[in-house]
């Protein structure tokens, strides 16, 4: 829970870049507390953790719950460089995140503005405020560069 | 990865009951390998773990990936006493589970046959075979008894 000078989205981009250097899909996430303090930062760890569910969002949500000692994260905000997938979107709802800020839209695998549109479901019990498309070009370029290199 | 004599769904019910005794919503899950061996069992740990995402399904999927040392669980089957929520359904897809067997249907919070119907989405990249309503009356009674006691 150290305060940091950088804006959360810049921290998320730094995590995404680091993830890419490690051979992970370059996605980064930052959890910020109600007072603006950074609670947790993470990049994807699917490869390193041998875990298809180790998305950056899941890692910061779990780390946040552990750091705060509470099962839900009311009042906390999540910053992530890519539109969360359906699993992460549903986890964001379960964790009662206040605001979700994300970078690039993900028509293929996103779950917020695409696919199951988790927060738009009548059975969704908590909906964060959603701000998408932040620094979209940078977020998209990072992902495209990564996948181009691998093909 | 010890072989057990009980059928997986009976083990899942035993885990659900134990979870209820601990004050957790009584849901249990069992992960079974391609050879029929039980790889992981768990009940909900939301309260004990202070983690809104610590659903039984997530716990056995993560434990399975760790036990097998592989990020995806191709050929593995998941047994759970309640219809998985959208987060767990999406995780089941990411983990490439072969078959999903579940007990009670969950119109309020389910994500397989209800709500976002995760596997029915065109953007869902892997769909398990799904067998729902197994021992539905027992699964439902367990949950109803738990919530009745708390109200």
Q: Nearest CA to B79 among B118, B19, B125, B33?
A: B33
Q: What is the pLDDT of residues A97-145, one digit of tens each?
A: 999 999 999 999 999 999 999 999 999 999 999 999 999 999 889 999 9
The partner residues of B99 in beta bridges, in order of sequence, read B77, B129
Contact A46 B71 (CB under 8 A): yes
- Which segments of chain B have a pLDDT < 70? 1-5, 151
Of B47, B49, B118, which has the smallest distance from its Cβ to A86's Cβ?
B118
Output Rg (C-alpha) for chain A, integer angstroms.
14
Cα separation, A48 vs A79, whole angstroms: 22
Q: Nearest CA to B63 among B125, B127, B1?
A: B1
C-alpha distances in Å from residue B65, one per residue of A30, B59, B82, B92, B149: 25, 10, 22, 12, 36
Asked if the C-beta of A14 comes within 8 angstroms of chain B's C-beta atoms, the answer is no
Cα separation, A90 vs B93, whole angstroms: 14
Contacts of B76 in chain A (CB under 8 A): none
Q: What is the pLDDT of residue A3?
A: 52
Cα separation, B86 vs B92, whole angstroms: 10
Q: Which residues of A10-26 are buried (b: 16+ CB within 10 A; e: fewer)?
A: ebbbbbbbbbbeeebbb
Q: What is the pLDDT of residue A119?
A: 98
Q: Does residue A32 sit in helix, strand or coil?
A: strand
Contact B72 A52 (CB under 8 A): yes
Grade residue A31 by pLDDT with cuts at 50, 70 and 90: very high
Q: How many CB atoms lie under 10 A from the CB of residue B29?
A: 31
Of A71, A87, A122, which has the smallest distance from its Cβ to B46's Cβ?
A71
Q: What is the pLDDT of residue B87?
A: 98
Q: What is the pLDDT of residue B22?
A: 95
Q: Is A57 a catalytic residue?
A: yes
Residue A46 has pLDDT above 70, yes or no: yes
The number of helices, as runs of H, and strands, as runs of E, in chain A is 4, 5
- The token pair at B87 is 């987060």
Q: What is the pLDDT of residue B147?
A: 86
Q: Which of residues 47-106 of A touch B (CB under 8 A)?
A: 47, 49-53, 58, 61-62, 65-66, 69-73, 85-87, 89-91, 94-96
Q: What is the pLDDT of residue A150?
A: 78
Do B70 and B93 contact (CB within 8 A), yes or no? Answer: no
**Please, how many CA atoms are within 13 Å of residue B46, restricted to the half-sphere of its CB?**
19
> How would you classify the pairing of strands A99-104 and A28-32?
unpaired
Of B66, B86, B124, which has the smallest distance from its Cβ to A90's Cβ?
B86
Q: What is the DSSP string of chain B?
A: ----SS-HHHHHHHHHHHHHHTTS---EEEEE-TTS-EEEEEE--TTTTT-TT--HHHHHHHHHHHHHT-S--TT-EEEEEEPPPHHHHHHHHHTT-SEEEEEE--TTT-SSSSTT-GGGSTT-S---EEE--TTHHHHHHHHHHHHHHH-
Catalytic position from the list A15, A45, A57, A83: A57
Of A51, A69, A90, which has the smallest distance from its Cβ to B85's Cβ?
A90
Q: What is the pLDDT of residue A27?
A: 97
Q: Which of A56, A73, A87, A120 to mutate to test the interface with B (most CBs of B within 10 A)?
A: A87
Residue A151 has pLDDT above 90, yes or no: no
Q: Which of B51, B55, B70 to mutate to test the interface with A (most CBs of A within 10 A)?
A: B51
> How would you classify the pairing of strands A38-43 and A28-32?
antiparallel
């Amino acid at each position: 829970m150290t305060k940091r000078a950088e804006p959360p989205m810049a921290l998320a981009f730094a995590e995404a870049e680091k993830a890419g250097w490690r051979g992970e899909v370059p996605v980064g996430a930052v959890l910020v507390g109600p007072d603006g303090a950074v609670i947790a930062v993470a990049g994807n760890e699917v490869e390193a953790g041998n875990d298809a569910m180790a998305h950056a969002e899941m890692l910061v949500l779990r780390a946040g719950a552990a750091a705060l000692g509470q099962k839900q994260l009311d009042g906390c905000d999540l910053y992530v460089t890519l539109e969360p997938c359906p699993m992460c979107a549903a986890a964001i709802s379960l964790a009662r995140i206040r605001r979700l800020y994300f970078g690039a839209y993900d028509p293929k695998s996103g779950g917020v503005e695409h696919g199951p549109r988790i927060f738009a479901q009548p059975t969704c019990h908590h909906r964060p405020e959603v701000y998408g498309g932040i620094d979209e070009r940078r977020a998209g370029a990072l992902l495209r560069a990564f996948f181009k290199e691998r093909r």
